[in-house]
């Protein structure tokens, strides 16, 4: 991963100098920082990084699609996500690769869609697992930089390419 970005992120976290940092002034910089934060193994550092990236009321949600079509929804704020995801980080080392990105934005809000491949290396066996996701980010521009206000992801369903998530229908609204 980009060592320069890691350095910037850690510098921001430790030095509390994020107001001067230009990385978070761009949507790309914010998302790169998010994936770096999500790869951070130390939970304290991960907490500080998320604190830097999320709004105070920011939320993290996930939907796990099962092969039978059912799903499980997990919701909460970013702080509870840090706590609850601890067991995953105890067992795996994650690595995120962003495959594609689309977005809509207007002034201070942006909706960003990413197709992401997550690689999880099991610590005990070294075995690698791969999962693909559609991640939706709600971003907000405050105090001259972007923040994550909400993130939601869903895993790829077997037989239905996750890239389909980026296909759009544009509708002219006509209420029933």
Partner 1 sequence: MNRRIVHSVVLVVALICISSSSYCQQSPITAFDLFFNTYEAYDQDIESLFTKTGRISTIYYDATGQPAIQSFTPSEYKVQLASIAEVYQIERTPKVLILREYGAIARIYSTVRVVLTDRSRSDVLVNNTIQSVQLIKTKGQWKINHISIQSEHPSYPIDSKLLPSEMAVGSKVNNQSRVIEKDSPAIPDFSTEYDPNKVYKVNEVDELPFYPGDIQLFLNLKKTYGVVDQPTVGYTPFIVTIMEDGLAELTYAHDLSGFQIAQAESFVRSMMIWYPAVKYAASVKCKIVFYIRE
- Where do contacts with partner 1 occur on this chain (CB under 8 A)? 55, 57, 59, 61, 63, 65, 71, 73, 75-77, 104, 106-109, 111, 113, 134, 136, 138, 140-143, 149-150, 152-155, 157, 160, 162, 164-173, 175-176
> Which residue, 124 or 158, is less far from partner 1 as judged by CB?
158
DSSP 55-92: EEEEEEEEEEE-TTS-EEEE--BHHHHHHHTHHHHHHE
Minimal distance, residue 152 CB to partner 1, in Å:
6
> Which residue, 8 or 60, is less far from partner 1 as judged by CB?
60
Q: Contacts by 78-81 with C-beta closer than 8 Å and gap 24+?
A: 78/50, 78/51, 78/54, 78/148, 79/47, 79/50, 81/50
Minimal distance, residue 64 CB to partner 1, in Å:
9
Tokens linked to 75: 């919701």
Minimal distance, residue 44 CB to partner 1, in Å:
25
> Which residue, 3 or 169, is less far from partner 1 as judged by CB?
169
Cα(157)–Cα(103) distance, integer angstroms? 23
> Which residue, 14 or 142, is less far from partner 1 as judged by CB?
142
């Amino acid at each position: 991963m980009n060592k320069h970005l890691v350095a910037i992120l850690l510098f921001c976290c430790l030095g509390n100098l994020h107001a001067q940092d230009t990385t978070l002034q761009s949507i790309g910089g914010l998302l790169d920082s998010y994936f770096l934060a999500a790869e951070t193994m130390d939970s304290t550092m991960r907490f500080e990084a998320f604190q830097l990236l999320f709004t105070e009321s920011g939320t993290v949600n996930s939907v796990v699609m099962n092969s039978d079509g059912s799903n499980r929804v997990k919701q909460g704020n970013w702080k509870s996500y840090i706590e609850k995801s601890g067991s995953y980080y105890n067992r795996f080392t994650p690595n995120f690769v962003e495959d594609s990105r689309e977005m809509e934005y207007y002034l201070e809000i942006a909706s960003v869609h990413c197709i992401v491949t997550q690689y999880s290396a099991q610590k005990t066996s070294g075995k690698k697992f791969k999962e693909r996701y559609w991640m939706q980010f709600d971003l907000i521009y405050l105090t001259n930089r972007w923040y994550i206000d909400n993130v939601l992801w869903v895993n790829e369903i077997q037989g239905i390419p996750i890239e389909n998530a980026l296909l759009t229908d544009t509708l002219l609204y006509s209420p029933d």
